[in-house]
Amino acid sequence: MIYCINPDCKNRQNPDDLAKCQTCGTELLIKGKYRLIKPLRQLNPRHYTDVFEVDDAGTRKVLKVLKDKTPRLIEMFEREAFTLQILNHPGIPKVNSDGYFSFIPKNSSQELHCLVMEKIEGDNLEAWLSKNKPISQQQAMNWLKQLIGILDLLHQRRFFHRDIKPSNIILKPNGQLVLIDFGSVREITSTYQGKVAGEMVTTIFSGGYTPPEQLDGKASPESDFFALGRTFVHLMTGKSPVDLPKHPQTGKLIWRDKAPQISQPLADFIDQMMAFQPGNRPRNAGDILPYLTKRGLLIKIALRLVNSPKFKLMVAGLITLVIAGIWLYIPVNARSNHLEGREYLNRGQIDLAREKLENAIALDPNNAVIHSDLGWACQEQKEYDCALKQYQLALKKTSNLETRATIHYNIGGLYEAFGDGNKAIEKYKLAMVDKGEIGATATNDYARLQIKEKRNYALAINLILNTLEQTSLDWHQIANLRSSLYKNLGWAYLQQGDYSSAEKALREAIRLDKEKRAAAYCLVAKTLQDSNPQAALPFWQKCREYDSKNLPEVENWQLDADRYLKD
């Protein structure tokens, strides 16, 4: 039996030997390769999508077909495809570069959006739990580590899932967990900026698993941890969160008596994941993974003891005995903590960096550079209120022009993360007074926002050309900054319609780039697309594959690349 893809077809079942549907005449071999073997759920006209098992030259895969023409649903479907194409993890279904396409059935004007992905064998955890007992402590820790590893990759690529629950997790026969249904996935900055700008953000709701902030359209990566905590309560108790009682004052789930096999430290950690305030949940995978071992749980117990009132009272007496010698120790220890924190910051180990920098601030609260570095750590953790507070404290504590320029530049980046381009421009302009690398970097970002936000291309070109002519900078040491300046120069020329100058600047940006950044490749592709689309293709390919550096405009260009490469 082979099925017809046409949702309006009156009889979608066909014998295996037919090339076209016997009822509506639609091709049965989709895109010349996929045969629809069977629906994986009931074909219902009220569903936005149909889901089929398909055969691809002997390999079974899954085909999702979006039937609805609503622009927001199409956008979500495209985002799901793009996300799965760029992620590579055994716990995430694989989608090939040609796995997203559109198809128009015979005698129909309706465009169907199609997504072909890896077929995951196994049961989803909701079905698995109906046939098995609640999971043990060891199994809980093993599964938590697997799923936190998946979310770590997802969040690092600046996406979050928004619909974690047992039915969206499959247990493969080899014990590997796979997170599925990325139809609700959102990109972190676009969701935040859209909300700030007043744009409606699609709300996803799954009873018992959805965190309160997501109901208001304010989901964040921490929302995934809430849903994951609720998922594990279900797996450890055998009861859905909606069937468990809640504390009448706090609203917290009362579940521990239903899971006696779970130790108190692990239960405490699950409750922390389900905290009502996102700021009280783990910030990232690094906050969770260290505790998912026996040793980690013992450390958790020790930390609870250290924070107890009795322990603090006992230690208070000892502190009194040694306080006279502390003044000799503070300056050296503050500097040591600061240097270690900065080293961790440079390595990208943000949690460790923040811990050391907070220690340094406690010992040397008037050091502007430590405040600035701590602000940067907070910014990397997306704790923007903390970052802004530390940057403002740093400005109050220094008159050094270079340090102040650095802080203004960092605040500019913070406002840009908020989606406030005007304030970001103001701060970048203040940082431009520096005559060194910070000033040049600030000029580059100021010019970029003049292109993106103000469409003031002539000003951007003039600023960039003047910066590139500076002889006081060691351009060999900052080749990537020079590359970025040429990229923005090319972008401004492109917006003016000067394709020749644009291509020349952008190719220089590519030559200088050492980090495989996507932006210049995307823009070269744009300059070539109309005049020579064949020559544009390899640039679109690199545009899609290389790093966006979390710039929203580049991520939009990568979506353009995805569309052009599918044609």
CA dist 48 and 40 (Å) reads 14
Q: What is the DSSP letter of 492?
A: H
CA dist 203 and 216 (Å) reads 7
Written as one letter, the residue type at 35 is R
Residue 360's closest CA among 369, 351, 347?
A: 369
Q: Are 299 and 291 in contact (CB under 8 A)?
A: yes
Q: Encoding tokens for residue 503?
A: 């291509």
Q: What is the DSSP letter of 97?
A: T
CA dist 127 and 150 (Å) reads 21
Give the 3-state secondary structure of residue 56.
strand
Query: Which residue among the candidates 55, 68, 152, 163 is catalytic per the annotation?
Result: 163
- For the chain, the first-to-last Cα distance in angstroms comes to 30
Q: Encoding tokens for residue 442?
A: 């600030």
Q: Are 50 and 156 in contact (CB under 8 A)?
A: no
User: Is the Cα dihedral 453, 454, 457, 462 positive or negative?
Assistant: negative
Written as one letter, the residue type at 552 is P
How buried is residue 38: exposed, middle or buried, by Cβ count under 10 Å (0-12/13-18/19+)? exposed
Give the 3-state secondary structure of residue 195.
helix
Active site residue 163: yes
Residue 99's closest CA among 83, 116, 77?
A: 116
Backbone angles phi, psi at 118, to 5 degrees: -55, 140
Residue 49's closest CA among 75, 67, 76?
A: 67
CA dist 272 and 260 (Å) reads 18
CA dist 250 and 498 (Å) reads 62
* Beta-ladder partners of 116: 63
Helix (H) or strand (E) holding 474: none
Residue 27's closest CA among 123, 89, 136, 108?
A: 108
Q: Encoding tokens for residue 389?
A: 């507070």
Q: How many CA atoms lie within 13 A of 300 on its CB side?
A: 20
Helix (H) or strand (E) holding 409: helix 401-418
CA dist 298 and 265 (Å) reads 8
CA dist 276 and 282 (Å) reads 12
Q: Encoding tokens for residue 513?
A: 């780039």
CA distances from 187 to 116, 155, 157, 192 (A): 21, 9, 9, 9
Catalytic residues: 163
